[in-house]
Structure 1
């Protein structure tokens, strides 16, 4: 690889990472217009493994707005991001796949300081380079675990 190609790859990685971060911030802040803007016009999201819906970005944003209203405090932590470019046959580098783990503490309305609901799993993001920059073509949530209110682990004995 030449330095120019390597620099372009680094710049693409940073741009893709920014889209993933913007996704988490949009959901946490309840900014559903920003959420919709992150997607391509045909972009879709699938939250079925977490008890949600699958559909276009607009319908999923509406569902999220209603569902997330229950949680005034939410904070996505998206980590262990694996980025791969051009996985499609004959691709020229204009697509990216990101696999990333998440932990999502949320709190129901009330004065409790600790999160009431915590879940975790893995995202699969598919991105496309557009004239407006990198956009989400698909988001698939694979929830692996959740802790609900009232289900606290037993104390550890000394």
Structure 2
């Protein structure tokens, strides 16, 4: 009987490497939004990649138009820290795909802050939470986002934040 252990180990190693790479893309997504690095944000997507922020009061569209909307709408909150946790990763190959696919569902908490006068600590801003779905595709350049769907479940604004934000 042939020994399949080395083959099994290679498949398991490849799966671990894919899981780490996919996790890295999700982390890079959060960091790009937090840092306002919209070029990096756009670079995480496939050419036809889309994002949907409608449940959080935003827009749905291609990565470029969504990046422009995020840049404008997040300008009031220079302090951002997206925490993406409870990541559930599933891999698969779809019939019509050019390569492997991954789906990540993860919960998020997103505290934001207003700029402080005189360079002090940021004034507390709104905090929201929910779940993101990330659809990824393996490309020649590595794993890329094909779709991001944000499903906001809750939002809390500190006293005065609504007034400061014009709400």
> Does TM, normalized by the shorter one, top 0.5?
yes
Q: What residue is the counterpart of 2:3 in the other structure?
A: none
Are positions 1:36 and 2:42 aligned together?
A: yes
Cα gap change, 1:91 to 1:6, in 2 (>3 Å):
farther
Decide which of 126, 130, 133 is 1:121's aligned counterpart: 130
Unaligned residue ranges in structure 2 (runs of 5+): 1-6, 161-167
Cα shift at 1:48: 0.1
Question: What is the CA–CA distance in structure 2 between the aligned matches of 1:142 and 1:54, rounded to whole Å?
Answer: 12
Q: What residue is the counterpart of 2:85 in the other structure?
A: 79
Cα gap change, 1:109 to 1:141, in 2 (>3 Å):
same
Checking the alignment, whether the CA contact within 8 Å between 2:126 and 2:155 is kept in structure 1 is yes
- Which segments of structure 1 move beyond 6 Å, counting only runs of 4 or more? 90-93
- Cα deviation digits, residues 38-60 of structure 1 (max 9, x gap): 00000000000000000000000
Q: What residue is the counterpart of 2:94 in the other structure?
A: 88
Q: What residue is the counterpart of 1:101 in the other structure?
A: 107
- Cα deviation digits, residues 8-47 of structure 1 (max 9, x gap): 0000000000000000000000000000000000000000
Q: When the two structures are aligned, how many residues end up with a matched partner? A: 152
Question: What is the CA–CA distance in structure 2 between the aligned matches of 1:40 and 1:91, rounded to whole Å?
Answer: 13
Q: SS of 2:146's equivalent?
A: strand
Segment drifting more, 141-150 vs 102-111: 102-111
Per the normalisation by structure 1, the TM-score is 0.89
Are positions 1:46 and 2:52 aligned together?
A: yes
Q: What residue is the counterpart of 2:157 in the other structure?
A: 148
Could you say which structure has the larger radius of gyration? 2
Cα shift at 1:149: 2.6
Unaligned residue ranges in structure 1 (runs of 5+): 152-158
- Cα deviation digits, residues 80-113 of structure 1 (max 9, x gap): 0000000635879700000000000001233565
Per the normalisation by structure 2, the TM-score is 0.85
